[in-house]
Amino acid sequence: MSRSILRIVICAFALAGHGTAGLAVPSPLPLPMGIAEAGHGSLRGLAKAGLAEAVDSLITIPLDKEYVPVVKNNKTSYRTSYYGSIYVGHPSPQEFKVVFDTGSAHILLPSRECASTTCQKHRRYDRAASGSVVDSKDDSDTIELSFATGIVNGNTVRDTVCMVNHATDGSKTDSHSDCGQVRFVTATKMTSDPFDTFSFDGVFGLSLEGLAVGKEFSYFGEMMRAQKFRQHRFAYFLSYEDVGSEISFGGHDERRLKSELGWVPVHNPEQGYWQVKLRSVTVAGGLPLCEDGDCIAIADTGTASLGVPKDFANQLHLRLARSVTDSSADIDCREHPGPDLIFDFGSVKLTIGPAEYSRPAPVRIFTNKSDPTSAKAFCRATLMPVDYAHIGSKIWILGEPVLRKYYSVYDWDSKSIGFGLAAHPPREQPSTSAAVQV
């Protein structure tokens, strides 16, 4: 049988650095009153049990946060990722740690057939060990996926994917609302960046179907067609702590909100991105950008930074930079005063401040290279220049800085995104990253 080769270019999955030397573990922020303090049904009780909360048929998966240090010019920055567990195959499910990525469309897992050093650092999918594989002539197809930070080559397979480990309950996976048959990519080749440096095994694409090779590759689309979820929504919550982040399927958790959700329609949903039209972007009421109406913002859970159109990056850096008189190593730029950055979508405005966009430590800039005493310290923003010509010339990426401050809900039926101020717990205990459903 001849093999077909399909190449897909994806603009997501940019695990950018966001720190400098001396990065401290983020401090927790308070949660409004009203959340139960103890017991198995409370957030804290479930966290102690190593489980995430499940409310009104929600399937909620805890996300672990990972820091990977990057040393450049004797300075250390940190790349971050958030990942949770999925279970593939039946009756002996194989567990994988994946990044849940709204900027890509496919589930991607290393294959047992991949013998590279990069693949061997991770759990690899064993087709022969699964009793729920659905054979197809398409399994011989070769796919190449290009991410912002790497390339993957592989084959395709259709198998059962679950959010909960059903190995011990003896029931058939098709009876569970968290399980569904979906076609995914098994990688036979993976570039070292980013898969060599991070602990997660693969990627779980959650874009709209327009980015996928075919509808059968879209997990959420397949689950929707099988009427598995109570609501055709998923929601994403990022904690300020190293634990406590989560993704929920089948709706959203009102307890994660401290404001009402404001909804913005997806722009050109047929393209597959969770993208919305920007009316303007301003800094402290000045420097209006995007008023010609051609700016697009993509909500991307796989990106650790705030993405800025390349042509705007320099002027935005200048507007967000602040000089500091105390250049000691102890200063935290996230606590140093600075202007707000406001994204206006018409019906919804999102505002982030220095606590969200700043690098933790100041940078030293020499006004006279020959004079070591001419150094001045500045607090700078963490911005990622974006140049995605295949989408548009003015693309913004709403990554971790925005999605941590705002709880985001993705509605498949109405093709819209809901944003609301996130309610952050004061503290949470480490989780074992197990999912639970009711």
Is residue 290 in a domain? yes
Distance of CA 86 to the CA centre of its chain: 15
Last residue of a domain, one of 198, 221, 254: 254
CB atoms within 10 A of CB 405: 20
Is residue 346 in a domain? yes
- Same domain? 179 vs 110: yes
CATH classification at residue 361: 2.40.70.10
- Same domain? 127 vs 248: yes
- Same domain? 274 vs 389: yes
Reply yes or no: is the peptide bond before residue 194 cis, omega within 30 of 0: yes
- Same domain? 363 vs 266: yes
d(CA 408, CA 253): 11
Is residue 433 in a domain? no
Of 385, 261, 361, 381, nearest in space to 313 by CA = 385
pTM metric for this prediction: 0.84
Is residue 426 in a domain? no
Last residue of a domain, one of 202, 228, 254: 254
Is residue 435 in a domain? no
- Same domain? 146 vs 276: no
Is residue 427 in a domain? no
- Same domain? 154 vs 268: no
Of 16, 120, 116, nearest in space to 70 by CA = 16
Range of the domain at 270: 262-421
- Same domain? 187 vs 64: yes
Is residue 241 in a domain? yes
Last residue of a domain, one of 254, 283, 315: 254
- Same domain? 273 vs 296: yes
Instruction: Look at the chain and report how many structural domains it folds into.
Output: 2
pLDDT by residue, tens only, the chain of 438 residues: 333 444 444 444 454 444 333 222 232 333 332 222 222 233 333 333 334 344 558 999 999 999 887 767 676 777 889 999 999 999 999 999 999 999 999 999 999 999 999 999 999 999 999 999 988 776 667 888 877 667 889 999 999 999 999 887 766 677 789 999 999 999 999 988 878 888 999 999 999 999 999 999 999 999 999 999 999 999 999 998 888 999 999 999 999 999 999 999 999 999 999 999 999 999 977 777 888 889 999 999 999 999 999 999 999 999 999 988 865 667 899 999 999 999 999 999 999 999 999 998 888 887 777 777 777 889 999 999 999 888 888 999 999 999 999 999 999 999 999 999 999 876 444 343 344 333
- Same domain? 92 vs 216: yes
- Same domain? 218 vs 283: no
d(CA 319, CA 308): 13
- Same domain? 46 vs 183: yes
Is residue 17 in a domain? yes
- Same domain? 340 vs 390: yes
* β-pairing verdict for 286-289 and 280-283: antiparallel
